[in-house]
Amino acid sequence: MNGEADRSVRRILCVFPRYTSSFGTFEHAYPLTDGVQAFMPPQGLLLIAAYLPAGWEVRFIDENIRSASADDFEWAEAVLVSGMHIQRQQMNDICHRAHAFDLAVAIGGPSVSACPEYYPAFDYLHVGELGDATDDLIARLARDPSRPERQIVLKTADRLDMTKFPIPAYELAEIPRYFLGSIQYSSGCPYQCEFCDIPGLYGRNPRLKTPEQITRELDKLLECGINGSVYFVDDNFIGNRKAALDLLPYLIEWQNKTGFVLRFSCEATLNIAKRPEILSQMREAYFSTIFCGIETPDPVALKAMHKDHNMMVPIMEAIQTLNSFGMEVVSGIILGLDTDKPETGAHLLTFIEESQIPLLTINLLQALPQTPLWDRLKRENRLIDDDNRDSNVDFMLPYDHVVATWRKCMGSAYEPAKLLERFEYQIRTTYPHRLHPPMSRARLSAKNIKLGLTMLRNIFWKVGVLGDYKREFWRFALRRLARGEIEYLISSIMVAHHLILFARNASRGQTNASYYSLKLQESSVPAE
Ligand code: SF4
């Protein structure tokens, strides 16, 4: 924290923008919960909030839960904003609203770090990670919080060691309102997949917190009322395998101490299947889901995108290995690759059926700045700047064909019967391998029981009675009820319901075909 800044007290309003509706935000599941309104607590902004000088007053608003009001802007002396490319319009809108109150607005986070030119109206651009630029920003606001005459760009040259990161200010957020908890142990990834901006933004040598920091953060998340699952947002949980092995015993101990009240999930490369020593400890720590960027089942395409590490173990075998440790695989998939053929969509649907993966985030290829893909397509004159398209890539196949393939795959993969059949497979094949911790007092708390009953009531009423895939739902639900698998019923339907509704909109062309697309869509995630 900046010593010079400690001498003056400021009132800082941290505003996190709304998400545009997407596959990964699960907003269709929220009405089935007990008051969830947003996806995950934003790590970056809560970290900055915690890093501000101790005496400063900080208000945090997640606009997925409620919008920043005139009262908030009147209270504040300066505004901090952070977000991803997909939230660009919403971030610019917050800046505009803050300027109406003549407030200085600073933006940080992944989008501005990759594309400062997207944010011409902001007063301060914080480019890069937490570090000397953050200290500089704090010092400037401490000296004078008013708007500077022209935009000031502050670039982090010296990043703060992650072992010195404070615990994100979870106490400022309404943690029970989030679908998932989030936590970060490492940053960066050693690989260089052509389309990915992580190595360019965060480096190839993962930086780390200590295991003790992580257990302290988990304690705080619990104190703040997190329910259900916590997602490790690390770019690659095994980016540094030794570090993963260092952390896992701490997580196991923490779970035993707190009664296995939370489940964990993470992102990792598929070659984690070669590491049974890591997988068995993840099982002991109660990891239940792994997101793997499988991207495509086509080996030629994987080679072309420099993702050969996905082929260290045959893909199907790797998925089965993860399943055998009780972990359900979630897969990222990309359509629109240069190697795609007219039959790629059909191959993808076959892969989905064979792998029995319930949840696949299927996106159109998008070239992100600061990626090798961007550089190559720029050289080839194949970048298209048109906000009305679902991708900025000039595909090898006709654009309409690629988008039609995406819609067809979405429509077919998430037909209720097919999706619930894949969950049925997971329940039969994967979940029995999970750890089955004893029913601790923490898991059987009155709060958890009430939560479970509320979700069950919502599911039966909103899906089983009012829904439009009742037959498929009841066939699935009655089997769960007959076998006493209430927990599986709740967890599967929460995810399935979102996917079914989202995919239905997608196949009708009512959502973007790329998570990263900047194409305007009328509906953001509703805050209500
Ligand atoms: S393995 Fe994942 S995080 Fe690492 S470069 Fe590839 S896509 Fe990015």
The whole-number pLDDT of residue 512 equals 65
Radius of gyration of the chain (CA): 23
Question: Which candidate, 240, 261, 219, places its Cα nearest to that of 447?
Answer: 261
| Per-residue pLDDT tens over the stretch 359-403 | 999 999 999 988 999 999 999 999 998 878 989 999 999 999 999
**Does 193 contact ligand 1 (Cβ within 6 A)?**
yes
Token output for 451 = 């939560």
Determine the Cα–Cα distance for residues 234 and 249; give it in Å rounded to an integer: 18
Model confidence band, residue 439 (pLDDT cutoffs 50, 70, 90): confident
pLDDT of residue 248: 98
Q: What is the mean pLDDT of residues 12-26?
A: 90
Q: How far is the centre of ligand 1, averaged over its atoms, from the C-alpha of 517 (Å)? A: 19
Amino acid residing at 345 = G
What are 204-226's pLDDT values in tens digits?
A: 888 999 999 999 999 999 999 99
Q: Is pLDDT at 519 greater than 50 in this prediction?
A: no
Q: Is 104 helix (H, G, I), strand (E, B) or coil?
A: strand
pLDDT value of position 2: 45
Residue 403 Cβ inside 6 Å of ligand 1? The answer reads no
DSSP 228-296: SEEEE--S-TTSSHHHHHHHHHHHHHHHHHHTS--EEEEE--GGGGG-HHHHHHHHHTTEEEEEEEEE-
Kindly tell me if the per-residue pLDDT of 305 is higher than 70: yes
What's the rounded mean pLDDT across residues 172-178? 97
Higher pLDDT, 231 or 85: 231
Please name the residues in contact with 113: beta carbons below 8 A apart, sequence gap of 6 or more.
127, 128, 129, 201
- Of 390, 348, 392, residue with least CA distance to 373: 392
For the chain, percent of residues with pLDDT exceeding 90: 84
Q: In whole angstroms, give the CA distance from residue 268 to residue 81.
A: 28
Averaged pLDDT, 67-91: 96
Asked if pLDDT for residue 1 goes beyond 90, the answer is no
Residue 170 has pLDDT above 50, yes or no: yes
How much is the pLDDT for 420?
98
Provide the percentage of residues in the chain whose pLDDT is more than 70.
Answer: 95
Q: State which amino acid sits at residue 89.
A: Q
Q: How far is the CA of 210 from the centre of ligand 1 (A)?
A: 22
Q: Does ligand 1 have an atom closer than 6 angstroms to the CB of 199?
A: yes
Residue 513 pLDDT exceeds 90 = no
Most confident of 201-210, 431-440, 467-476, 518-527: 467-476
Reading the block at residue 148, the tokens are 């500077």
Segment 96-122 shows an average pLDDT of 96
The answer on pLDDT for 257 being more than 70 is yes
Split at pLDDT 50, 70, 90, the class of 434 is: very high
Average pLDDT over the chain, rounded to whole?
93
For position 486, what pLDDT does the model report?
95
Return the pLDDT at 25. 86
State pLDDT tens for residues 41-52. Answer: 999 999 999 999
Ligand 1 centroid to residue 191 C-alpha, Å: 6
Pocket test for ligand 1, best of 205, 307, 363, 371 (most atoms within 8 A of CB): 307
Query: Which protein residue's CA is at the shortest distance from atom 8 of ligand 1?
Result: 196
Least confident of 101-110, 445-454, 455-464: 445-454
Q: What is the 3-state secondary structure (H, E, C) of 444-472?
A: CCHHHHHHHHHHHHHHHHHHHHCCCCHHH
